């Protein structure tokens, strides 16, 4: 196979960090090439340079034998490079055809474009209605818009940045069939993911980045997922240990919980019912945007619902706000670290005060007890191995993994009866993720009812006792997690929706 894109010595430095340090690798025509690495390893910077969004400080690229240095994305598109973004590239208030036209260099008139969208989307088994508003689409359908936008330009190289993070297992299968068909037609695919099993099934070759440097390359089919993970992290990983124990009495009971969406493109919760027992972890999976944020809001008290929709040990608490719920030990850690779970520009001490003032007695008669607050913040830092110079540092200055350990630890140390967490390890490095999962398991072991909302199915299978899935604001009946197959989980998450396998017509 001939080389399509060669990257030699690419370097890009930002103030204080070298994002890419002399990165070299090459991609052959028709090859599916994986780019592996933890968050912060420099994968995004690298593909942004290939797509012309960022200019390298040093190094050069060659595309089909000719020097290649795109000054902006339109030049990259003209050279046959297309990119599917992880996020940030669709416009909610515009329709599908308009979104696609924006990603093309010379789009045909709207009516012809709509016809082309229908035609291409049917060929690849990704049906799309060009007239619908993107804001009304499901996460899986939005992904299709991005992919169709790329396919309409007949790319030679397709870059995909974490494309499966929002898909059900069935949708992933169909996406892979589409990608294999594309590769068979000669298109090279640069595939970024941290889902190791997916890379093992799909990719021909893998380049591994760590701290901005290429540390290894391999054929992922010849490695185990554990070996790949160790190559990424550069250290041995220990899987969380779960203690056997029988759950106690029902602590939290949710029955008939409904909550209309507060924003035009949000999801309404519909008739959600479940129970959680003391010492049990209930895992709630589902594709992003199916009501996860709304469910967390209803359980934490940010959104108030009918009083008897949420019951703590038989007492109705649905109409209580966050502070009264904290007082009775119902705690929550939301998804967005910077801005929702923590105030970015406030110190760790102040952030500790914000949720722990009531339960830890950090305020009296409206005045703050600074020494006690600092001591509590230090306790969290110590117990959860948060790497920071001290509790006076701003939350924003911590890395994602360290701040997440602080945010979870802050709630865990308040001895909750019920703890609800949303995406506890999203964007967190592997070792921090492992210690957060261990902390949640230990918390359940000590008798707390834990609800983990996450889109990472591997994580949910690893720690939860029972599993349920959110789909369009409805919750499937919870089932014991042990023995569930990926197939069954996918169906609980809504299956393949209306996708179909690509018509591979050779």
Partner 1 sequence: MDFGAINPVVLIASLMVASTPILLAAIGELVVEKSGVLNLGVEGMMITGAICGFAIAVETGSPALGFLAAMLGGAVLSLVFGVLTQVLMSNQVATGLALTLFGLGLSALIGQGYVGIKPPATDRLDLGPLSEIPVLGRILFSHDLIVYLSLALVAGVWAFLRYTRAGLILRAVGENHDAAHALGYHVVRIRLAAIAFGGACAGLGGAYLSLVRVPQWTEGMTAGAGWIALAIVVFASWRAGRVLLGAYLFGGVAVLQLNLQAAGLAVPVELLSASPYLVTILVLVIMSADRGRAAVAAPASLGRVFHAST
Interface contacts to partner 1, rule CB under 8 A = 48, 52-54, 72-74, 77, 85, 88-94, 98, 101-103, 107, 133, 135, 263-264
Distance in angstroms (rounded) separating the CA atoms of residues 417 and 421 = 13
Nearest distance, CB of residue 49 and partner 1, angstroms: 10
Q: 264 or 361, CB closer to partner 1?
A: 264
Determine how many CB atoms are found less than 10 A away from the CB of residue 163: 23
For 33-99, the DSSP string reads: EEEE--TTSSHHHHHHHHTTSS--SEEEEEETTEEE--SSHHHHHHTTEEEE-SSS---TTSBHHHH
Nearest distance, CB of residue 447 and partner 1, angstroms: 44
Closest residue by Cα to residue 1 from 204, 236, 264, 209: 204
Q: Report residue 69 as tokens.
A: 């240095």
Strand partners, 368: 363
Nearest distance, CB of residue 25 and partner 1, angstroms: 21
Determine how many CB atoms are found less than 10 A away from the CB of residue 138: 20
Residue whose token pair is 């994580």: 459
Nearest distance, CB of residue 75 and partner 1, angstroms: 8
Q: 95 or 360, CB closer to partner 1?
A: 95
Distance in angstroms (rounded) separating the CA atoms of residues 23 and 19 = 10
Distance in angstroms (rounded) separating the CA atoms of residues 216 and 356 = 45
Q: 319 or 394, CB closer to partner 1?
A: 394
Q: 11 or 255, CB closer to partner 1?
A: 11
C-alpha R_g of the chain: 24
Residue whose token pair is 């992003």: 288
Q: 87 or 387, CB closer to partner 1?
A: 87
Q: 134 or 177, CB closer to partner 1?
A: 134
CB 241 within 8 A of CB 435: no
Nearest distance, CB of residue 162 and partner 1, angstroms: 14
Secondary structure class of 423 (helix, strand, coil): coil
Nearest distance, CB of residue 195 and partner 1, angstroms: 23
As a whole number of Å, the end-to-end CA separation of the chain is 21
Q: 72 or 271, CB closer to partner 1?
A: 72
The contacts of residue 194 (CB under 8 Å, 6+ apart) are 36, 37, 38, 39, 162, 232
Nearest distance, CB of residue 223 and partner 1, angstroms: 32
Q: 109 or 244, CB closer to partner 1?
A: 109
Nearest distance, CB of residue 48 and partner 1, angstroms: 6
């Amino acid at each position: 196979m001939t080389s399509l894109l060669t990257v030699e010595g690419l370097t890009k430095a930002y103030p204080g960090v070298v994002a890419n340090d002399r990165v070299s690798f090459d991609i052959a025509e028709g090859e599916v090439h994986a780019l592996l690495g933890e968050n912060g390893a420099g994968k995004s910077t690298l593909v942004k340079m290939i797509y012309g969004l960022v200019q390298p400080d040093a190094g050069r690229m060659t595309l089909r034998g000719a020097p290649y240095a795109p000054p902006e994305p339109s030049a990259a598109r003209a050279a046959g490079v297309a990119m599917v973004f992880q996020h940030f590239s669709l416009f909610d208030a515009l329709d599908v055809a308009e979104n696609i036209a924006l990603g093309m260099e010379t789009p045909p008139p709207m009516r012809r474009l709509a016809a082309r969208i229908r035609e291409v989307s049917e060929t690849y088994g990704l049906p799309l209605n060009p007239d619908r508003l993107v804001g009304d689409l499901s996460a899986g359908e939005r992904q299709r818009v991005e992919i169709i936008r790329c396919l309409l330009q007949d790319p030679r190289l397709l870059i995909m940045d974490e494309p499966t993070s929002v898909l059900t297992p069935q949708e992933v299968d169909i996406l892979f069939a589409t990608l294999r068909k594309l590769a068979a037609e000669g298109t090279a695919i640069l595939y970024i993911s941290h889902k190791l099993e997916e890379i093992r099934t799909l990719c021909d070759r893998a380049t591994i980045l760590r701290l901005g440097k290429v540390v290894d390359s391999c054929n992922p089919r010849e490695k185990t997922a554990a070996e790949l993970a160790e190559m990424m992290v550069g250290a041995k990983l220990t899987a969380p240990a779960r203690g056997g124990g029988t759950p106690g009495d029902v602590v939290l009971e949710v029955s008939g919980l409904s909550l209309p969406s507060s924003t035009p493109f949000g999801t309404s919760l519909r008739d959600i019912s479940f129970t959680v027992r003391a010492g049990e972890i209930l895992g709630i999976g589902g594709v992003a945007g199916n009501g996860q944020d709304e469910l967390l809001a209803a359980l934490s008290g940010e959104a108030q619902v009918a009083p008897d929709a949420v019951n703590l040990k038989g007492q109705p608490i649905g109409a209580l706000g966050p502070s009264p719920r904290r007082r009775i030990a119902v705690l929550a850690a939301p998804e967005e670290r910077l801005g929702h779970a923590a105030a970015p520009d406030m110190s760790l001490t102040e952030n500790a005060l914000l949720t722990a003032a009531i339960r830890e007695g950090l305020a009296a008669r409206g005045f703050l007890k600074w020494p006690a607050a600092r001591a509590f913040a230090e306790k969290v830092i110590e117990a959860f191995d948060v790497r920071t110079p001290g509790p006076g540092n701003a939350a924003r200055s911590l890395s994602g993994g360290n701040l997440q350990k602080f945010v979870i630890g802050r709630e865990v140390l308040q001895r909750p009866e019920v703890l609800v967490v949303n995406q506890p390890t999203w964007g967190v490095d592997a070792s921090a993720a492992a210690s957060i999962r261990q902390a949640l398991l230990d918390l359940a072991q000590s008798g707390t009812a834990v609800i983990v909302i996450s889109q990472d199915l591997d994580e949910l299978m690893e720690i939860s006792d029972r599993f349920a899935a959110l789909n369009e604001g409805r919750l499937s009946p919870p089932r014991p997690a042990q023995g569930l197959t990926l197939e069954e989980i996918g169906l609980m998450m809504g299956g393949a929706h209306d996708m179909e396998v690509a018509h591979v017509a050779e």
